[in-house]
Amino acid sequence: MKRFTILCVLLLLAAGLGNTQERKKDALAQLAIRAGKVLDVRTGKYLADQVIWVEGDRIKAIGSAADVQKQIPAGAKTIDLSSATVLPGLIDCHTHLTMNPKTLGPSRLRISYPRAALMGAHNARVTLEAGFTTVRNVGASGYADIALREAIKDGDVVGPRMLASGPPLSITGGHGDENYLAPQFNYSDDGVADGVPAVMEKVRQNIKYGADVIKFMATGGVLSEGDNPAVAQYSLEEMKAIVDTAHSLGRKVAAHAHGAPGIKLAVIAGVDSIEHGSYIDDEAIRLMKEHGTYLVPTVFLEDWLVGNLEVLNLTPSMKEKAKTVLPIAKQNLSHAFQSGVKVAFGTDSAVYPHGLNAGEFATMVKMGLPPLAAIQAATVNAADLIGWSDRVGTLEPSKFADIVAVNGDPLADPHVMEHVRFVMKGGEVVKNE
């Protein structure tokens, strides 16, 4: 018995030792990135002839080559980006990695949750390769998004850092319900909850099953059947209950909202971001500025949808809503951009093919957002919205070594962002052309 105990202790010690050695080895991986030009996303200034010292998965130091190069231990690997423009890894605050354009209409009834998660594995890779090293995924049935996030964390799947919401909360018959089925099928989507106690329980349930953020539908939607994007869904009391429950458990809240009444209720209830904001008006803008609420505008999707509306499996009413709402949304959001409301970058990827996320930059700029503000939306602002300013969004010591590079000047031509040549996530090279 005694001998057995000693043996166990020895085995445990050996296992522990193995672990620390492994960790030490990882932590000591040293890398020098020679950057021709680094865009300081806070100021919009280009810094020439920079070196980024990467240790393990973090940035150890960044500065002029003359200062930083001499601090880097001999034998460190070098990556040469001296002819490129280097930026922090990009952040998309509104993705649906477990969905695709082809599954937006009733055809999604044939998609199982495991199939959705596997679609997500493909979409996660193409999103990361497009330069998006962090995404906030706002809406997936069956917790397929949580499964995907865990698979990425465990290294089973290549993809961005993910914050995931699980199923979005929705009223019965709302944008987040399943409205294609006749009554005899008696089915509601898994985020459906009505009334204060039910929405509180649903928020707690989502957090129990792994949600990093809470998403709810404050108005009807465009690509859904039988609901009206202009009207509010949920009462102010229900919205407050969602927000207070989420915030008390340390989770931020994203509200899908098109119509102005729903936007205003959600802002008053205390949400952290308004997603889409199609019918945003001056009063909504004023309220958002007063409350410090972020706008996540998702405007590029219209550019893509216009040309593809007929090839998707959408119902006539969905197509009609898209044609009506999306052009008006661009006018209203353009006005909101001029008004100085805080903007964070989001695309609603899944409404257009994943990997085209960076198309959002040029569309926002065309609508009047200055190019630097568009890049800030996808870096510092997005990091602030998701609560990760301590780890992503800028190239600074102790942050994750999430780094992208492009050719050319994204402040002069936002289309440059659509051709990311180099992607590093947490010190690992994902793409290097």
Q: Please give the residue ranges that form the binding site for Zn ion (CB under 5 A).
A: 348
How are strands ordered across the β-sheet holding 58-64? 58-64, 45-55, 30-40, 77-88, 403-406, 420-425, 428-432
348 an active-site residue?
yes
Pairing of strands 428-432, 420-425: antiparallel
Burial 49-81 (b: 16+ CB within 10 A, else e): ebbbbbbbbbbbbbbeeeebbeebeeeeeebeb
Q: Is 322 helix (H, G, I), strand (E, B) or coil?
A: helix
Q: Rank residues 352 and 422 by Cβ distance to Zn ion and give the closer one.
A: 352
Instruction: Return d(Cα 217, Cα 275) in angstroms, integer.
Output: 9
Shortest distance, position 104 Cβ to Zn ion, whole Å = 11
- Sheet harboring 90-95: ordered strands across? 90-95, 132-137, 161-164
Closest to 234 (Cα-Cα) out of 169, 298, 144: 169
Nearest residue relative to Zn ion (C-beta): 348
Please, is 390 exposed, middle or buried when counting C-beta atoms within 10 Å of its C-beta (0-12, 13-18, 19+)?
Answer: exposed
- Judged by beta carbon, residue 273 or residue 381, the one nearer Zn ion is 273
Q: Of residues 348, 399, 402, 425, which has the active-site annotation?
A: 348
> 215 an active-site residue?
yes
State the nearest-atom distance from the C-beta of 430 to Zn ion, in Å: 25
Considering the complex, state which of residue 177 and residue 348 has its C-beta at the smaller distance from Zn ion. 348
Nearer to Zn ion, 216 or 400 (CB): 216
Q: Closest CB to Zn ion among 349 and 376?
A: 349
Least CB distance to Zn ion at residue 35 (A): 34
Residue 182, class by beta-carbon neighbours within 10 Å (0-12 exposed, 13-18 middle, 19+ buried)? exposed
CB 163 within 8 A of CB 211: no
Q: How far is the CB of 346 from Zn ion (least distance, A)?
A: 8
Tell me the closest approach of the beta carbon of residue 145 to Zn ion, in angstroms. Answer: 12
Rounded to the nearest whole angstrom, what is the least distance from the CB of residue 342 to Zn ion in the complex?
A: 19
Residues 60, 202, 215, 399: which is the catalytic one? 215
Give 345 or 422: the residue with its C-beta nearer to Zn ion: 345
Tell me the catalytic residues.
215, 348
